[in-house]
Amino acid sequence: MASLSTGKPLFIFVISAFILSSCSSIKKTQRPVYGNNGGVIVQPTGPTIKRMGPYVMEKPDKDDAEKYSAIMGVKKSDIKNGRLYSFLNEWMGVPYKYGGLEKDGIDCSGFVYRLQQEVYDIENMPRSTNTQINFIKRKYEEELKEGDLVFFDFDGRQFSHVGVYLQNGYVVHASTRKGIMIIKLKDPYMYKYFSRGGSVLVEREGDTESSGR
């Protein structure tokens, strides 16, 4: 810590601390965004990201339709995206782990990163919350649709936490205490930190579209 007594090292330290951020409420380190081949993704110049190919929705398993319709208080016929709810089955209850991307632990932005890739075929979904916020088409709360992103301001930091909107006011996210879980957006604790929501902007065949279905 002795080196911090001089002006220049202190300046570097302060700038470094400012740059580092993530969805964790404990640590604040920004991780690079990695593609499927391990290379760092260069973000597009415009506010769009790309699909891996034409998105195809699959029918849900009957048990999944029954399970999630009961959880969210909707009709079984409203559970249409089999890929989404199959994905949730695999990840539900996985513990929170800062910087994690695997079943032994994952953080909020990592969960969104994997969900958007594996469910919606998003090719270059950003890895951190402070980048993910730049790739949505902002919506009013009542306009939110399944697959949209919802951001929260925890610890006095704007857009420091992210989840995915489902249906009927429910959101799935990586809780620091309980891991991957489904909760009401208007949960008394969560809702007071709710900041912004919107659909992911997707570039396909030269056109920009919203992923909100």
Q: Which residues are catalytic?
A: 108, 161, 173
Burial of 45 (C-beta count, 10 Å sphere; 0-12/13-18/19+): exposed
* DSSP secondary structure code for residue 4 in this structure: G
- Measured CA to CA in angstroms, residue 35 lies from 39, 45, 122, 168 at distances of 5, 17, 11, 33
3-state secondary structure of 95: coil
Residues whose CB is less than 8 angstroms from the CB of residue 203 and which lie 6 or more positions away in sequence, other chains included: 44, 46, 48, 49, 50, 51, 209
φ and ψ at residue 169, rounded to 5 degrees: 85, 10
Whether the Cβ atoms of residue 90 and residue 107 lie closer than 8 Å to each other: no
- What's the CA gap between 12 and 78, in Å, rounded? 52
Residues facing 96 on adjacent strands:
106
- What's the CA gap between 184 and 68, in Å, rounded? 13
φ and ψ at residue 123, rounded to 5 degrees: -75, -45
